[in-house]
Amino acid sequence: MRRYIAWFIGMLTITATTAMAANFVKQNVGAPGGWAGTIAGTELNGTLYTVEATGSLYATTPANGAWTRVGKADFANVVFLFAVGESLVAIEKDGSLYLIQPQDGSWRRSGPAGGWANTVAGAVLGQTLYTVENSGTLYASDPSAGTWRQVGGPDFAAVKQLFAVGNRLVSIEKSGNLYLINPADGSWERTGDFAAWEQATAGVALGQVLYTAEQDGALVATDTASGTRVPVGAGFAGVQFLFLPRNLLCGLDANGNFFHAASQGDAPAASAPAPTATPEQPALSTAEDEAQNDPARAGALTFQFMGQWVGDTAPLEQDPEFLKQKEAAPEMVQQVLALMQGMKMSVTLDGVTMEVMGEKAGPFGYSVIAAHDDILVIETQDGPKAGVRSRLTFRDARHVQVEELTPAGRAMFFKKP
């Protein structure tokens, strides 16, 4: 369920940026050149961890670029750094794999010395580390146990970069071709135009969308399912690492600068100094709703909320901005509309059950926080969104807008069939 929701969010991100090809620009954060000499990096629980050529491990807070050194300078031989579970996983030059505790930098070797020799690329999907060796062999490893197994045949000798995108692996080959790989058996298929990713220097995935920084400075968002590429930014030449901690697109460039990918509307004027932090927007408050709470109305609206709902695209199609985006990229917007139309929501006393593309999740329990007029505020009690409040606005007896009261403030529309 979560992978389809993430894909849906990613598709909306692409759609929203299509009408403005250069929507994102680099906005440096923190000390200029403060990450010079970085040789490997990853994200774990919202914190960036990077290793410098000196062997030092650093933890960086993405919002403001503040960093601290972790442990001793023991990591000069690290080539790849990943996050698996609650540990950092390093592969060193000799092919040995190490588990690193992010709290204090303590480490231990896992598996045989040199067990991951000749690794050229890797990615983490769930709790499994997938690596490709220069022989072309793909391996699935359990880092904590230090074990591995071969996946498929030796078909991957040309792989340059490997990513976990949605529920599968995606590789960019030396030729610039993009391949979708089934992690279960190593079967693969090419997608998109030939050599379209030849200039990609760094990448990161959100749902099924792959963001790549390219040699010509473009930031490109790719719908990996179709191979559709959409330019979403400019000025990203020299980027060596991209990260997405808590959906904040950021990275490091060749000059050792840490940056956010900021929308042009939010970026400072050329003459203004770059800010040292990009604060999150506060979640929408329920104080006014609770002040107007009407228990009788809460009961009536809760009863109205019960039943079967399906995705409603009509409010979007009446939005002038959405219509502009639809004109700019009709095929991509149509995919988003089709996904919304296929969404189902079932509400009972046991909770809310969601269905997306045939996959169900729930029921997730909820409690009523407040109600007044045509508004009902609920709080999810369990599941991946436990503690999240949502404001339900009933446009009429058969149409409702569901808005998460989070900094992102995403809203979705449903109707009774």
* 138 occurs within a structural domain: yes
Q: Which of 263, 297, 317 is the last residue of a domain?
A: 263
Q: State yes or no: pLDDT of 3 exceeds 80.
A: no
Q: Are residues 69 and 177 in the same domain?
A: yes
Q: Do residues 308 and 243 both lie within one domain?
A: no
**One domain for residues 243 and 337:** no
Judged by average pLDDT, the poorest of 309-318, 391-400, 403-412 is 403-412
What the block records as the tokens of 176 is: 């610039």
Residue 344 sits in which domain range? 287-415
CB atoms within 10 A of CB 172: 24
CB of 348 closer than 8 Å to CB of 365: no
Q: Is 28 domain-assigned?
A: yes
122 pLDDT more than 60? yes
Global confidence as pTM: 0.64
Does 9 score more than 50 pLDDT? Answer: no
How far apart are the C-alpha atoms of 337 and 412, rounded to whole Å? Answer: 12
**pLDDT confidence of residue 349:** 79
Residue-wise pLDDT for 308-342, tens only, equals 999 998 887 777 766 776 776 666 667 677 777 88
Same domain for 312 and 203, yes or no, is: no
pLDDT category at 270 given cuts 50, 70, 90 is very low
- Report the percent of the chain where pLDDT is more than 70: 84
Question: In terms of domains, do 304 and 239 share one?
Answer: no
Pair 106, 52 in one domain: yes
Tell me whether residue 408 is in a domain: yes
Task: Give the strand order in the sheet containing 344-348.
Answer: 359-364, 351-356, 344-348, 307-311, 411-415, 399-404, 389-396, 375-380, 366-372
Whether 387 and 351 map to the same domain: the answer is: yes
Residue 253, domain member (yes or no) = yes
* CA torsion angle 317 321 324 328 (round to 10): -100
pLDDT at 410 (0 to 100):
63
Q: Which of 10-19, 118-127, 298-307 has the lowest mean pLDDT?
A: 10-19
Question: In this structure, what are the phi and psi dihedrals at residue 247, rounded to the nearest 5 degrees?
Answer: 65, 15
On whether both 254 and 312 belong to a single domain, the answer is no
Give 352-375 pLDDT, tens digit per residue.
998 875 667 888 899 999 999 999
Report the SS3 class of residue 209: strand
Q: Residue 18 — pLDDT band, cuts 50, 70, 90? A: very low
Taking residue 254's Cβ as centre, other Cβ atoms within 10 Å add up to 12
Task: Give the C-alpha separation, 316 to 321, whole Å.
Answer: 9
pLDDT at 411 over 80: no
The answer to whether 322 and 314 are in contact (CB under 8 A) is no
Task: Give the rounded percent of residues in the chain with a pLDDT score beyond 90.
Answer: 63
**Paired strand residues for 20:** none
Q: Which range is least confidently modeled, 56-70, 247-261, 276-290?
A: 276-290
- Interatomic CA distance for residues 7 and 18, integer angstroms: 17
Question: Is the residue at 268 inside a domain?
Answer: no
Question: Is residue 102 included in any domain, yes or no?
Answer: yes
Answer whether the bond into residue 363 is a cis peptide, omega within 30°: yes
Give me the pLDDT at residue 241, please. 98
- Do 200 and 153 lie in one domain? The reply is yes
Can you give the pLDDT at residue 327?
73
User: pLDDT, tens digit, for every residue of 76-120?
Assistant: 999 999 999 999 999 999 999 999 999 999 999 999 999 999 999
The least confident of 14-23, 34-43, 131-140, 179-188 is: 14-23
Composition of the chain by helix, strand, coil, percent to 5 = 15, 45, 40
Radius of gyration of the chain (CA): 23
Q: Specify the 3-state DSSP secondary structure of 315.
A: helix
**Residue 10 located in a structural domain:** no
- Looking at the domain assignment, is residue 33 inside a domain? yes
Q: What is the CATH number of the domain that holds 214?
A: 2.120.10.80
Q: Tell me, yes or no, whether 240 and 324 share the same domain.
A: no
Task: Please indicate, yes or no, whether residues 236 and 383 belong to a single structural domain of this protein.
Answer: no
Query: What's the pLDDT score for residue 226?
Result: 82
The pLDDT value given to residue 317:
78
- The amino acid sitting at 68 is T
Evaluate whether 51 touches 64 at the Cβ level (below 8 Å): no
189 by Cβ neighbours in 10 Å (0-12 / 13-18 / 19+) ranks as exposed
Please indicate, yes or no, whether residues 119 and 180 belong to a single structural domain of this protein: yes
